[in-house]
Amino acid sequence: IRDLIEFFERSGELVRVKRPVDKDKELAAVLKRVQTELKKAVLFESVKGTDFMVVGNLYGGRDKLARIFGVPEEEVVKEWVRSRESKPIKPVRVNSSPCQEVVHERNINIGEILPIPYQYRGDAAPFINSAVVVVKDPKTKTYNASFNRMQLHGGNRLGIQLVINMDLFFIQKEAEKRGEPVEIAALISPDPYLFLAAATRLPRELDEIEYAGALAGSPVELIPCKTVDLEVPASAEIVLEGRIPPNTYVEEGPMGEVLQYYGSTSTKPIFEVTAITHRKRPILEALLTGTIEDHVLCGVP
């Protein structure tokens, strides 16, 4: 993601905010203004109370996807289809990665470690919307990657929305019938090709890490997690490891939705975080729902 930020800066498509911002009262408002008025990506270099940086709107328009794929804007969908039909590329394993420079395994308080911003006035809590959730499917033995919003609930617990009839929804329901937890890892700010692969709906038997390699034209580097039996893309800035326990639910919502309304409150599974690893001075990606970035990532794939 740092390469993408640098790329947009060279082309004049990045705004740097150097003044310290409040993650709950300023950040989302500035991000929305930059998206709608300047149509640029934005990097917040200083977020009050943390040494994390925050980036947003990296995918906010077909023009940005065209830059990533290296094609004219009108050929973005055609290129995405071509990449989807390309031969998957198997990942490679590495023994170390900057995403594990800092490791939190004890007394985890997610809200104190990560500067998760509030988005909208009516949101029940801060939500993580940009994380790519990685799971190994016990049925197909392939890796699945998807977006699943997560609500901060205090301590090491997040509510996680498993979208009905999507792969992780079925994986969790099948594990729950067996009385077993599901081990997952949530990657924040991974490389663009993994991000775009997670936005694409593929048959369950296809490995989405290998598909990300096909999009990139090179193998994804994987590193073993610290507390769960998973290997995850080493490109991420931040990784949350943990489990979805069976038959454990919490009230979730409301949150400002992709279609620009507030959804109702409902019960959702819990994501119990067993470790958080990240780079030194990491970059947290904020995805503002109901904006051009959200709509492009839903619509183009």
**Residue 210 CA to chain centroid, in angstroms?**
18
Helix axes 62-69, 2-10, angle to 10 degrees: 110
Residue for token digits 């996807």? 65
Per-residue pLDDT of the chain (301 residues; tens, 9 = 90+): 999 999 999 999 999 999 999 999 999 999 999 999 999 999 999 999 999 999 999 999 999 999 999 999 999 999 988 887 889 999 999 999 999 999 999 999 999 999 999 999 999 999 999 999 999 999 999 999 999 999 999 999 999 999 999 999 999 999 999 999 999 999 999 999 999 999 998 999 999 999 999 999 999 999 999 999 999 999 999 999 999 999 999 999 999 999 999 988 999 999 999 999 999 999 999 999 999 999 999 999 8
Rounded to the nearest 10°, the torsion over CA 170, 157, 198, 215 is: -130
Q: How many residues does the chain have?
A: 301
**Residue 118 CA to chain centroid, in angstroms?**
16
**Residue 41 CA to chain centroid, in angstroms?**
16
Residue for token digits 């149509």? 39
DSSP, residue by residue, 64-117: HHHHHHTS-GGGHHHHHHHHHTSPP---EE-S--GGGSEEE-SS--HHHHS-PP
What is the structure's pLDDT at 301? 87
Residue 144 CB contacts under 8 Å (≥ 6 apart), including other chains: 134, 135, 136, 137, 167, 168, 171, 204, 208
Residue 286 CA to residue 289 CA, distance in Å, equals 9
Q: pTM surpassing 0.85?
A: yes
What is the structure's pLDDT at 98? 97
Residue 42 CA to residue 28 CA, distance in Å, equals 11
**Contact by Cβ (8 Å): 128, 188:** yes
Q: Are strands 231-233 and 238-244 parallel, antiparallel or unpaired?
A: unpaired
